[in-house]
Structure 1
Amino acid sequence: MEEYILKTREDGTTITVRDLQLKLLEMLKDIDIVCRKHKVQYWLTGGSCLGAVRHKGFIPWDDDADIGMLYEDYLKLLEAVKDLDPKKYIVQSFETHKEYNVLIPAMKIRLKHTYCEEYNALLKNKCKDSDGIFIDVFIIDYVSENHVKDFVWRCRNGILMLLIAALENLHINPLPLKKRYVRNARKYGKQNQDSPMIGFDLTWCFNSFFHPVVYPKESVFPIQYVPFEDTMLPIPKRPKDLLDAEVSVNHMSYPPKKDQQPKHIKDIAF
């Protein structure tokens, strides 16, 4: 198996993608325990879901891990994570840290005594209590079947996203704008709670406004536990719908060799 090196230490030893994946796997197992205990329904998303389907574990070059859940389960998660070992984990979200960058996933569960820096400057961590290795938690919410209405709402938060990013980069915490940004997302989800379609909530505006990640709710539930490395983790009932929307309709085909590289981590230490 090819080794993907993330960092070479001063003593010549290396930190590889596989080293990171083993840490992330440990974290996913701990998160799964508290989610089961508190009946939080969640599933692997993005590359993590693709890894489960195509590799029965991590994609060999994948350097992060993502989970998603409906907003109602996210509210449960805010309580459930209190059962994580406080000596081991720090939980960061807008609910726990008012300086939290609302342009990134709704929550980051970080591993203490580790460090990582992401490439994208827009996604910088604003919380000072930890820059540790993390699991991203995305809120999945109801979306309108009316494409025009959906587009308008995404543009509305897209404009706020640009304003928030500009102020954050000037080291200003635009708390009123952040509250409005999150409030818009909650309002839009609530307006469409009878819709059969779900997708990333409006706090995640990085996907195209014209082609947002949307798929049928019925393709997710009931979730199924499938082999993932040496454990079992949850994915949607019909993962193809999610992966077609979030990755590619050709998701079972490997990308060109030049694209088989880690892309998220700029620096790392543990």
Structure 2
Amino acid sequence: MTQNKTDEPLTLDEIHHVTLDVLKKIQEICKAHQITYFVAYGSLIGAVRHKGFIPWDDDFDIMMLRPDYDRFCKVCNESINGHGDYALMNPDNNKDYPFNISRFCDLRYRMVRDDNEPDAGMGIFIDIYPLDGLGSNISTIKGTLNETKQLLLHLAGIARSPKIFVPKHNIIKKIFRLPIWMVARLLGGRFFYRLMEKIITQYDFTESKYVGCFVWDGGMVFYPKTYFERTISLQFEEIAVDAPKEYDKVLRIVYGDYMELPPQEEQHPTHGYQIFRKV
């Protein structure tokens, strides 16, 4: 019996090929509406170090300053979502979507996850991270703002988890976790994400000296806003992508010596899912 092409998960090379097409669609939207984006995180390392994808990387990351991010979401909700093979997903337009960043998805593919998170209809996707204004006081960013972020991310994670207890916790921690889990589950992860967004709007973006992704990441990573005042074009596979003019400084804040390859045992995809064609 011949196996249908929809029965086999895409290879990493196939995911890379489709992801480039998704990126081209994002670039088309940004050009038409004069929206600035920046290749980010591992994808930026790939552009600088490999002139394309990191060979073992299985996704693509973009950053946008909050004003551009909000405009991009508005454009997609008005003219992209429900009008073809692509859709932007975020907590505002998909109740099953579990994250507080946006994902621009190719709906001709389906995701099968091996964790407890819902797939929310995502196919092959590109992550889009908003960079919010964090004010101008480094002590506050590293202190109160960081502590608030860690707490709310932790509570949001508990709210999404169907497991009451974590095996490594002792009896005392389990006793304390039970009421926290019950309240967090009742409120839902979206409650904590909305609270994060409300908190971060207290800082005026225009007046802020520093920016960072407050609604994602484990730690409080922040950058001088001036690093994102200008873009530079970098080669990525067969296309050109936009990066922060100060991409070296941006990458060193997050990764240190990003040009050094990680150990061989760490050179593998890090996300728990497979991608299949729908048709």
The one-letter amino acid of 1:93's match is: N
Of residues 104, 114, 128, the one that matches 1:137 is 128
Structure 2 regions of 5+ residues with no counterpart? 163-184
Shift in Å, 1:264? 1.3
Larger radius of gyration: 2
1:198 aligns with 2:211: yes
Shift in Å, 1:173? 6.0
Report the secondary structure of 1:15's partner residue.
coil
TM-score between the two structures when normalised by the length of structure 2: 0.79
Shift in Å, 1:55? 1.3
Q: Does the Cα contact within 8 Å between 2:193 and 2:215 map onto a contact in 1? A: no
- CA deviations over 1:94-146 (Å, ceiling 9, x no partner): 22234432xx352011111212245664xx2463xx13111101001222443
1:264 aligns with 2:261: no
Do the aligned partners of residues 146 and 15 (structure 1) sit closer, same or farther apart at CA in structure 2, a change above 3 Å counting?
same
Shift in Å, 1:162? 2.3
* Matched residue, 2:165: none
1:29 aligns with 2:44: no
- CA deviations over 1:144-188 (Å, ceiling 9, x no partner): 44343112122223222222222222475625444222211322x
TM-score between the two structures when normalised by the length of structure 1: 0.82
Pairing 1:20-59 to 2, within 5 Å after superposition = 20-59=15-54
Pairing 1:1-270 to 2, within 5 Å after superposition = 15-81=10-76, 82-84=78-80, 86-101=83-98, 104-117=99-112, 121=116, 124-125=117-118, 127=120, 130-150=121-141, 151-170=143-162, 174=188, 175-187=190-202, 189-190=203-204, 193-200=206-213, 202-204=214-216, 206-208=217-219, 212-246=220-254, 248-270=255-277
Q: Does the Cα contact within 8 Å between 1:63 and 1:265 map onto a contact in 2? A: no
Distance in structure 1 (CA, Å) of the matches to 2:19 and 2:59: 8
Shift in Å, 1:243? 0.6
Give the number of equivalent residue pairs. 248
* Matched residue, 1:5: none
Report the secondary structure of 2:201's partner residue.
helix
Whichever structure has more helix as a proportion of its residues is 2
The one-letter amino acid of 2:129's match is: F
Report the secondary structure of 1:213's partner residue.
coil
Q: Does the Cα contact within 8 Å between 1:157 and 1:184 map onto a contact in 2? A: no
Do the aligned partners of residues 120 and 249 (structure 1) sit closer, same or farther apart at CA in structure 2, a change above 3 Å counting?
farther
Q: Does the Cα contact within 8 Å between 1:107 and 1:136 map onto a contact in 2? A: yes
- The Cα RMSD (Å) is 2.5
Distance in structure 2 (CA, Å) of the matches to 1:169 and 1:111: 27
The one-letter amino acid of 1:181's match is: M
Q: Does the Cα contact within 8 Å between 2:133 and 2:200 map onto a contact in 1? A: no
Do the aligned partners of residues 198 and 94 (structure 1) sit closer, same or farther apart at CA in structure 2, a change above 3 Å counting?
same
Query: Percent identical across equivalent pairs?
Result: 25
